[in-house]
Structure 1
Amino acid sequence: MSVLGLRRPPATAGVLVVLALVLGQWLHQQLPERAQSSRPFEEPVAVGGTAALRSGDLEVLSVDGARSVAPAGGATMVSPGVFVAVELAWTPRGESSDLTYAALRDNAGRVLPFFGTSGRSSVSCTGLMVDRPARCVAVVEADPRSVPGASVALAPLGLDERWDSMAVVELGVDASDVERWQEREEPLELPAPRELIRTEAS
């Protein structure tokens, strides 16, 4: 009577396990980190330029500043620092949409978000009609020392800006601009939002 020897398991299973582990590690290294992958796509834009976002086009009309601002239909506000006002034209694409997120990115690397359509730091921008531009304004109160070299980020979704792209407006402001703004005696008049700024197409 012959004695049967113990059968060794096939080597194929062990090789597949090793390959799966190697492949998993490689994929982990290739995929972006969670913090990086959750950031919105940023579109840099300067004064006079237009940022093509996923839900609309954002044109930067002007950047100005002063120690006091006079919102349309509101009370004049005075700052111990300086107000920075960015006038914009927002043209929604596909459906009406708002710009509800704004943040000052100052020259110290800080990101200071601000929300709301009124107040000392606010963004007022509602695109009421698709493919027709609306006048908008973002105004932020800031430490004068933090403004030279700063930028303002703007996006349609205030609670979760990852679902759209984001415009990053390079203010193009230097120390002499800020000094001139601080010396301005008259309040800076802010334009009324939601007002169409171009002739409607027939």
Structure 2
Amino acid sequence: MSFDTDASGINHIIILGKTNSGKTTAGKIIEQVSDFTHIEASDVFQNILQDQNKKYSVDNIMNYLETTDGTGVAQEIVKEIRITGCSAVITGLRKPEGVRFMLSELPKIVVVTIVAPRSVRKSRIDENRSNSIDNSNLKFERKESIDECLGINQAIKEYSNIELQNTGDIGTFESKITELLSEL
């Protein structure tokens, strides 16, 4: 199936970034202002686990990634894109193998990394967890550690084409995303 509606256009965007950098926010903004469909990898993974009657846990994540060579979620996303024929903005991929798989299977992809200072990322998790009894600092550190183990830094280094700064100001972030889309 070909998505070539414009010889110079981008059909898919993969957004990478560290914990709470603004990946999902960027995906939602892109979906709102363009024809791209936002696909969040963690939602796809939760559906996979639900279909297998398993809970969303670190152990189940790691076991699934081992049994699928790190590409299982990416394979499911590619299937969805092929079935629907949509142009997608994909957020939440962590493993280099998953990014590599998508780049090999789908046409015209750009990989964008959202970069946010640690203080901004930490404040975002504090805001998201304001009503939670969890220790947000511990949760942030754990998520950072898991991301590093999964290879997010390697994926960014190997595959990112564009870097987009998130300083924590949503208006500025939206403007940067809109400008990026106009340049693609």
TM above 0.5, yes or no, is no
* Structure 1 or 2: more helix by fraction: 2
Larger Rg, first or second structure (1 or 2):
1
**TM-score, structure 2 as length reference:** 0.27
- Structure showing greater relative contact order (alpha-carbon pairs closer than 8 Å, 6 or more residues apart): 2
